[in-house]
Each structure stands twice: as C-alpha cells, then as structure tokens.
Amino acid sequence: MAFNLKNPRNIINNLKSKVGLWSLMKQSHSTCCYSSCLNTIHLHRFLPLTTLPQFTNPESISHKKGHFPHFQRFQSTTTEKQIDSVPNDEHNQVSDFPGGKVVFSPEMRFLSESPSVYSQCYRVLDDAGQLISHSNFVPVSEEVAVKMYSNMVTLQTLDTVFYEAQRQGRISFYVTSIGEEAINIASAAALTSDDIVFPQYREPGVLLWRGFTLQEFANQCFGNKADYGKGRQMPIHYGSNKLNYFTVSSTIATQIPHAVGAAYSLKMDKKDACAVTYFGDGGTSEGDFHAAMNFAAVTESPVIFICRNNGWAISTPTSDQFRSDGIAVRGQAYGVRSIRVDGNDALAMYSAVRSARQMAVNEHRPILIEAVTYRVGHHSTSDDSTKYRPADEIEWWRMARDPVTRFRKWIEINGWWGSEAESQLRSSIRSQLLHAIQIAERAEKPPVNDLFTDVYDNIPSNLREQEKLLKETINRHPEDYPADVPI
C-alpha cells in the first residue's frame, strides 16, 4: 500500500477511524463478556482431537454476533477468532493493521523450521485388515463395501492387462495406479455424481466407480473412432462430460486452480456439490498448487484437494522436494482445514473424504487431504523405477502394504466375501478386459480431419493450409504413416 505523505496527520486520523478501533472496542464492551468469550474459544481450540475421524467443525463454539466488529470479507473466516483469543495484556498487545490483526510480544522468537511433533495420520484398519481399537469412522454397508472391493480389483487388473498391452507394442503409453487403488476407489465412493472431478493422471478408479466401462477405457487407450477425444490425446488421458470428469492433462498441477474456479462457481450458483482435484506430492512443488490453495481459502470455495503423497515425483524423492512435515501442514499455513490419512486404508480414505465433502458443501470451505501411500508401479511405461529405488523396497510395499489385500481381509472378517467370489471376480474381469481390447484394437481410427476440428467454429485459413499440406505429405509418403487412419 502506498501513501502520499503530504498530509501525514490526516492519514493517521483516517487509519484510526478505519481500522484502529481496538481501544474503542475495549471501552464499548464489558470486560466480563469479553473474558467469557475468550475463555470459551481458547478452551475449544485446545481440546484433544480424540474425535478427529468425525471431522467436527473445530470452530463450532463461536462467539455471539455483536461482541466484536468484523472487518474481513467473509464472516466464517477463522483467523479473527483465533487472534481474538489472545489476551490483550501488556505482554501481548493486539493491534489492527490493514493486512490483518497482529499480536505484539517483547520476546524475540523465530518460528521453528520443523514441528516438534509430526502430524498424526488417520487410520482405521491395520495391515492385517483388523479394526484398530477405538477407531472412529463413517459406517459402510455391505453393498458399498463389496462394490468398493470389486472396483479395486478391477482397477488392479486393468493396470496389469493394459501394462502388458503396452509392453507388447499394442498401445504407446500407460500409467498404472498400483498401490494407490484405495485412494482412487474409496474417495470416489465418498463423493456424489454431481461433484466435479479434476484429475491428474493416476485416478482412473474414480471414473470406474462412476460407470466408465472397460470398453470405454480400451477405446481411449487405443485412440479409435469411439474414443471421446477422437484419438487426439495420449493414452490414459481419460475424460467424460457425462460423468463430470474433466479430461486428464499431463502438465503438472494445472488442474488445481481450475478446480478452485469451478468450486467458486458452484458456490455462487448455490449448488449442493463441490469440486475435487487430485495431484501428487510433486504437484505441490508447482506454483499452481500454492495459488490455488490461497485462492480457495480467501474465496471460501467448496473444493477438496486430495494429494497422493506416494514418496516420488517420477525419480525425485520427497526429501529433495521439501523440508516441511509432508503436505497437510501447508493447508494450515494457507488457512485451509487439513488432514493426513493412510492412503492404503480404504475405510479411512472413505471416512475422510465423506466428512470432507460434508464440510466443503455445507460450510463453503476448502479441505486438504494428504493421502500417504507408495507408488508400487513405475511412474509410467517410460520409466524404470529400479534405477532410483531398491527392488526389494518395492516388493515389500507390494506384498505387505497392499491396500486391496487389506480391504479384502476386512470384508472377509465381516463375512461379506470369500475365496470363490474372489476367483470368479478376477477371472471375469480379465476376460472382459481382453475382449474389450480386441474390439478397441479392430475398431476404425478417427479420420485425419479430426485433428483440426472442435477448436474453432470456423476453421481459420492457416489450419486449412496445414490440413492440406499434411494430406499431401501422407499421400507422398504412405509408408511413414499408419495405414488404418482414414485421410
């Protein structure tokens, strides 16, 4: 903020009248009422989080309107309440600045670069699929639990079959979600079909849960005429208008601010829905993540940020990306309610996302979920992760910490699943996938003309010239171009 210092006294008087109202407030309100309110808020802030899985609103105990003047744009912003809870004595003088309230102290103290206690990670099932004693979670019916497990197995099989197809040279590229099936399916199960999804590229399970068929997956990966992207996207860049799933883009983190904008629109239109965006730990190193978090907090938009902290941004470990205590603490820095969850625990993920959605929609606020997991597969078919991490580490996570196996043990304990159902499911899914691949592979390819459509209403002359030159080149050198692409 810049000031013209020509009339400094007028400026000072103006600032006093605008923001320097703390002394007036103290005179106009009784000490008893003020102290009572402070004690109530202060007590609530330090209650032990034993009911964390219920995700109750930590600001549910609030002061009555009229006790304090509010200068911030949004009534539900919690910063002012937290500042108000600090006693205004001689050692803690509170003052208003145009940038916000600050608490003065005679003690020179730097904020620590790391916390003395690490953020807790919410978990419901142990590695053996047993409920942890005193765990608190959102109940799941037998029907939903079995569907969740079936979808997790389907996603696991989908990755195996398509990875093999790429290795056989039948498709050009593929990305697996091995080790992250619980994040995909459990989060999708906790949302509604009206919620708008902005994925990265490792969330095909969300589409699967919403009804995207195995044939639709195959059509996209093979880029045939039935592909909704008309073959113009690389494999695994899925998208579906019908299922409220924005098309995947490989550029890292660009989807995050898009999700916030969509969420703000939902809020303005008073829709009973939220936006959800997924990204990896590497995405949090991009500026788009930080801009989106701040944007969401300030506009109080109903958006859920789901970070898959799987330890690796391709070959870059988290230790080379940041020094903070993971990702969840970054939300708190931006004023966004956050939680760290065991991403290999489907029941914990379901509970966290279900509760996060309720808060986002009902309270109009952003929520950050850090799902801690491990990327068991290679980053993509273009990557060999054994070059930068030990193979025995990968195998240990595959066998000992597999989220699919853990959830299966839990539904078996409940009597909802058995060996016969398991065998039938896996055999059926693999058969359906192989059949879908055969159909997708034989299907006609989109024509060359589709490269130039769906952007402009009237194709400009420069693109028409490019189309003409491309067709002439294909006719001159047919041996260099796929024979099954219609000209």
Q: How many CA atoms lie within 13 A of 326 on its CB side?
A: 25
Q: For 226-354, where are the E strands, in sequence order?
A: 275-280, 303-309, 312-313, 316-317, 337-342
In the DSSP assignment, the letter for residue 325 is: S
The backbone region for 223, taken as left when phi is positive above 0, alpha when psi lies in -120 to 50, beta otherwise, is: left
Distance CA 203, CA 51 (A): 30
Mark whether 216 is an active-site residue: no
Q: Which two tokens stand for residue 243?
A: 């299922």
SS (H, E, C) 38-82: HHHHHHHHCCCCCCHHHCCCCCCCCCCCCCCCCCCCCCCCCHHHH
Closest CA to 253 of 213, 297, 293: 293
User: Which is the catalytic residue, given 237, 364, 378, 379?
Assistant: 379
Contact by Cβ (8 Å): 351, 145? no
Long-range pairs for 43-46: beta carbons < 8 A, 24 or more residues apart? 45/82, 45/85
379 is catalytic: yes
Between CA 151 and CA 423 the distance in angstroms is 15
To the query of whether residue 164 is one of the catalytic residues in this protein, the response is yes
Cross-strand partners of 282: none
415: left (phi over 0), alpha (psi -120 to 50) or beta: left
Active-site entry in 142, 164, 465, 472: 164
Query: Which member of 240, 250, 285, 324 is catalytic?
Result: 250
228: tokens are 């909704």
Are the C-beta atoms of residues 366 and 296 closer than 8 Å to each other?
A: yes
**How many residues are recorded in the chain?**
487
> Can you read off the two tokens belonging to residue 284?
């949090």
Q: Which residue has the tokens 């003052």?
A: 95
- Is there a catalytic annotation at residue 380? yes
Tokens of 36: 């009572």
Q: Give me the catalytic one of 119, 301, 380, 385.
A: 380
In sign, the C-alpha dihedral spanning 402, 115, 284, 293 is: positive
Q: Helix, strand, or coil here: 313?
A: strand
* Residues forming the active site: 164, 250, 379-380
